[in-house]
Amino acid sequence: MRTTTAAAGEKKRVSRKEILVLAALSVGYLLLSYLLVGFKTDQLFLIGLANALYFATPITRKFITGFSIFIVFWVLYDYMKAFPNYWFNAVHIEDLYNAEKAVFGIRDGGAVLTPNEWWQLHSHTILDVLSGIFYLSWVPVPLAFAGFLFFWNRQQFVYFSLTFLLVNLLGFVVYYLYPAAPPWYVQLHGFDFIATTPGNTAGLVRFDTFFGITVFHSLYAKGSNVFAAMPSLHSAYPLIVLYYALKNRLGIVAKVLFTIITFGIWFAAVYTSHHYVLDVLAGIVCATCGILLFNWLVASEGAVSRAIGRFVAAIR
By C-alpha distance, which of 304, 146, 100 is closest to 240? 146
Is the preceding peptide bond at 231 cis, omega within 30 degrees of 0? yes
Range of the domain at 49: 1-66
Supply the pTM of this predicted model. Answer: 0.92
Establish if 71 belongs to a structural domain.
no
* Residue 36 sits in the same domain as residue 145: no
pLDDT tens per residue, range 175-211: 999 999 999 999 999 999 999 899 899 999 999 999 9
Q: Give the CA-trace dihedral at 291, 275, 88, 69, to 10 degrees.
A: -40
Establish if 72 belongs to a structural domain.
no
pLDDT tens per residue, range 39-73: 989 899 999 999 999 999 999 999 999 999 999 99
* Residue 30 sits in the same domain as residue 139: no
> What letters, b where the CB count within 10 A reaches 16 and e where it falls short, cover 304-315?
eeeebeebbeeb
* Residue 32 sits in the same domain as residue 173: no
Strands (E), the chain: 106-108, 111-113
For residue 109, is pLDDT > 90? no
Count of other CB atoms within 10 angstroms of residue 111: 10
How far apart (Å, rounded) are the C-alpha atoms in residues 195 and 215? 25
* Residue 185 sits in the same domain as residue 222: yes
* Residue 59 sits in the same domain as residue 95: no
For residue 2, is pLDDT > 70? no
What residues are paired with 92 via a beta bridge?
180
Q: How many separate domains does the chain show?
A: 2
